[in-house]
Structure 1
Amino acid sequence: MNHPRAQRATTWTLLALSVPLALWRLHPPAVDSRGFSTANAMAHLRIIAAEPHPAGSERQVLVRQYLIAQLESFGYQVQTQPSRQKVLRRRSGYENEVALVNVMARRSRSAQTNRAVMLVAHYDSVPGAPGAGDDGAAVAALLEAARILAHQPLRNDLIILFTDAEEFGLLGARVFVREHPWANDVAVALNFEGRGSSGPSIMFQTTAGNGWLIDLLARVAPHPVCSSFTFDVYRRLPNDTDFTIFQSLTQMQGMNFAFIDDWANYHRSTDDIQRLDPDSMRHHGLQALALGRALAAMDLTHLPRTQDAVYFDVLSLAVVRYPMHWALPLAIALGIATAIVLVGAVRRGPIRVRGVLVGLGMILINILLAVAVSWGIVKLTHNLRLERLADATIAGYTLLAMLTAAGVRRIFRRASAAEINSAALIVWTILNFVCVMLAPGGSYLTTWPTLLAALSLATQTLPPARCWPRSCWLLSMLASVLIVLLLSPAIYIAFLGLTLRMAHLMVVPILLGLWLLPPGSMPRVHQVAPAGKQREL
Structure 2
Amino acid sequence: MPYTQATGCSIGSPAGDRARDYLAGQLRVAGLEVEIQPRSVPVPRRGLATFGQVDNIVGRLRGTDSTGTVLIAAHYDSAAMGPGASDDGAAVASMLETVRALRGGPGLRNDIVLLVSDGEEDGVLGAEAFVREHPLGKAGGVLLNWEARGVSGPSLMFETSANNARLVETFTGAVPAPRGHSAMVELYRLLPNNTDFTPLTKGGFAGMNFAYIQRSSLYHTAGDSIANLNRGSLQHHGSNMLALVRALDHDVTYFRALGIMITYPDQLVWPLAVLTVVAVAGLALPARAKRSLSLPRLVAATASAVVPLAVSAALAQGLWELLVSWRPAYDLMGGLLHRPRPYQAAIVVLCALTVLGWYLVLRRRLGPAALTVGALTWLAGLGLLCAHVAPGASFLFALPALTGSLGWLAAVLLRTPAWAQTVVAMLGPVTAAMLLPSLAGNVFDGMGLALGGVSALVLALFGLIVVPIAESSLPDLATRPKRATVLAVPLTALVLTAGLVAAGLVVDDFDADRRRRMHLAYVMDAATRTAHWVSADVDPAQWTKRYVSGHDTAALPPGYARGTLWTGQAPAIAAEGPRADVLAHSRDTLKLHVTAGKGARSVTLRLDQPMTHATASAGRFGSASVPVTGTRVGTWPSEIRFRGIPARGVQITVRIPGKERIGLTVIAETDGLTTVPGFVPRPPDLVAATREDGDLAAVTRSYTLTRDS
User: When the two structures are superposed, what TM-score results if normalisation uses the length of structure 2?
Assistant: 0.61
CA distance in 2, matches of 1:124, 1:474: 54
CA distance in 2, matches of 1:406, 1:522: 11
Per the alignment, residue 273 of structure 1 pairs with 226
Match of 1:510 among 434, 439, 459: 459
Per the alignment, residue 136 of structure 2 pairs with 182
Per the alignment, residue 460 of structure 1 pairs with 411
Deviates more, 1:172-181 or 1:516-525: 516-525
CA distance in 1, matches of 2:351, 2:45: 42
Per the alignment, residue 375 of structure 2 pairs with 424
Per the alignment, residue 440 of structure 1 pairs with 391
Alignment of 1:203-214 (within 5 A): 203-214=157-168
Deviates more, 1:231-240 or 1:396-405: 231-240
Per the alignment, residue 117 of structure 2 pairs with 163
Per the alignment, residue 320 of structure 1 pairs with 262
Report the CA distance shift for 1:203/1:358 in structure 2 as closer, same or farther (over 3 A).
same
CA distance in 2, matches of 1:72, 1:491: 44
Report the CA distance shift for 1:130/1:53 in structure 2 as closer, same or farther (over 3 A).
same
Verify the 8 A CA contact 2:298 2:370 in the aligned structure 1.
yes
Structure 2 counterpart of 1:380, which letter? L
Per the alignment, residue 470 of structure 1 pairs with 419
Structure 1 residues 429-463: Cα deviation after superposition (integer angstroms, max 9, x where no partner): 22222222221211101111001211221133236
| Secondary structure in 2 matching 1:228 | coil
Structure 1 counterpart of 2:450, which letter? R
Verify the 8 A CA contact 2:59 2:115 in the aligned structure 1.
yes
| Secondary structure in 1 matching 2:12 | coil
CA distance in 1, matches of 2:197, 2:236: 19
Report the CA distance shift for 1:458/1:257 in structure 2 as closer, same or farther (over 3 A).
same
Structure (1 or 2) with the larger CA radius of gyration: 2
Verify the 8 A CA contact 1:460 1:524 in the aligned structure 2.
no
CA distance in 2, matches of 1:364, 1:222: 41
Report the CA distance shift for 1:443/1:424 in structure 2 as closer, same or farther (over 3 A).
same
Structure 1 residues 53-96: Cα deviation after superposition (integer angstroms, max 9, x where no partner): 111111222222321232223222222222344678989x6x77
Match of 1:370 among 312, 315, 318: 312
CA distance in 2, matches of 1:110, 1:441: 37
Report the CA distance shift for 1:413/1:521 in structure 2 as closer, same or farther (over 3 A).
closer
Q: Give 5+ residue unaligned stretches, structure 1.
A: 1-41, 296-305, 528-537
CA distance in 2, matches of 1:65, 1:340: 66
Report the CA distance shift for 1:367/1:180 in structure 2 as closer, same or farther (over 3 A).
closer
Aligned length: 466
Per the alignment, residue 300 of structure 1 pairs with none
| Structure 1 residue 190: Cα displacement | 0.6
| Structure 1 residue 292: Cα displacement | 0.7
Verify the 8 A CA contact 1:204 1:256 in the aligned structure 2.
yes
Aligned sequence identity (%):
32
Verify the 8 A CA contact 1:195 1:263 in the aligned structure 2.
yes
| Secondary structure in 2 matching 1:227 | coil
Verify the 8 A CA contact 2:411 2:424 in the aligned structure 1.
no
| Structure 1 residue 495: Cα displacement | 2.7
CA distance in 2, matches of 1:151, 1:63: 25
Per the alignment, residue 8 of structure 1 pairs with none
| Secondary structure in 2 matching 1:395 | helix
Per the alignment, residue 132 of structure 1 pairs with 85
Verify the 8 A CA contact 1:206 1:256 in the aligned structure 2.
yes
Per the alignment, residue 273 of structure 2 pairs with 331
CA distance in 2, matches of 1:486, 1:192: 25
CA distance in 2, matches of 1:159, 1:89: 30
CA distance in 2, matches of 1:503, 1:397: 8
Match of 1:485 among 422, 434, 437: 434
Q: Does structure 1 residue 44 correspond to structure 2 residue 18?
A: no
Q: Does structure 1 residue 396 correspond to structure 2 residue 346?
A: yes
| Structure 1 residue 478: Cα displacement | 4.4
Per the alignment, residue 142 of structure 1 pairs with 95
Verify the 8 A CA contact 1:262 1:390 in the aligned structure 2.
no
CA distance in 2, matches of 1:408, 1:44: 55
Deviates more, 1:496-505 or 1:355-364: 355-364
Two-structure CA RMSD over aligned residues (Å): 2.8
Structure number with the higher strand fraction is: 2
| Structure 1 residue 136: Cα displacement | 0.9
Moved segments of 4+, more than 3 Å: 84-91, 95-99, 232-238, 349-362, 389-393, 407-413, 415-419, 518-525
CA distance in 2, matches of 1:235, 1:96: 22
Per the alignment, residue 20 of structure 1 pairs with none
Verify the 8 A CA contact 2:33 2:61 in the aligned structure 1.
yes
Structure number with the higher helix fraction is: 1
Structure 2 counterpart of 1:144, which letter? E
Q: Give 5+ residue unaligned stretches, structure 2.
A: 477-709
Structure 1 residues 82-129: Cα deviation after superposition (integer angstroms, max 9, x where no partner): 2344678989x6x77643211122211343x46221111000001111
CA distance in 1, matches of 2:362, 2:205: 56
